């Protein structure tokens, strides 16, 4: 009798799942790499360590002009014309390093219920390094979103 009662209660709990709860599973968002390299202008570009979210042509043009102030780095970008009605740019800049071999990259972008979480990875040289002043950067394009973007 206890077993029948237990199974009845268990069935009720399983059958009474709250249908009003909006279940949202995190989704991995794809990115399009625009550029990943180093600035070699010894700080002439005047770009500090920062993570930028760019959503307009004006901001994008200003950034590219700054990046090109010492060398024409945007010549190696996979694209420079961005449709900001459908996409946004995430531009990550590390601090200026006194030698080469450093990189910065996006390890992944995950869409959560209320935000996008962007995991940023800073990598140090593995082995020999070059005696050159560098500033690692990574620029990607993602689909436009109204959600808050958290860069970690």
Report the pLDDT value the prediction gives residue 71, as an integer from 0 to 100: 96
3-state SS assignment for residue 60: helix
CA distance 107 to 19: 35
pLDDT one digit per residue (tens) for the chain, 152 residues = 655 555 555 555 565 555 545 688 999 999 999 999 999 999 999 999 999 999 999 999 999 999 999 999 999 999 999 999 999 999 999 999 999 999 999 999 999 999 999 999 999 998 777 789 999 999 999 999 999 999 98
Single out the residue of 138, 129, 141, 119 nearest to residue 39, CA to CA: 138
Domain spans of the chain, in order of start: 23-151
As beta bridge partners, residue 36 has: 138
Tell me, rounded to whole angstroms, the distance of Cα 123 from its chain centroid: 15
pLDDT, residue 94, reads 97
Residues 6+ apart with CB under 8 A from 77: 34, 35, 139
pTM: 0.83
């Amino acid at each position: 009798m206890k077993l029948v009662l237990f199974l009845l209660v268990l069935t009720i709990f399983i059958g009474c799942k709250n249908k009003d709860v909006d279940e949202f599973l995190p989704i991995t968002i794809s990115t399009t790499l625009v550029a990943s390299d180093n600035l070699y202008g010894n700080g002439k570009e005047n770009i500090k360590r920062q993570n930028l979210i760019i959503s307009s042509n004006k901001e994008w043009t200003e950034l590219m002009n700054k990046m090109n102030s010492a060398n024409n780095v945007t010549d190696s970008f996979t694209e420079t014309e961005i449709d900001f009605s459908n996409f946004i740019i995430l531009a990550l800049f590390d601090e200026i390093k006194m030698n080469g071999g450093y990189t910065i990259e996006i390890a992944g972008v995950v869409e959560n219920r209320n935000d996008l979480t962007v995991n940023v990875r800073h990598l140090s040289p593995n082995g020999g390094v070059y005696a050159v002043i560098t500033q690692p950067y990574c620029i990607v394009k993602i689909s436009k979103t109204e959600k808050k973007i958290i860069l970690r």
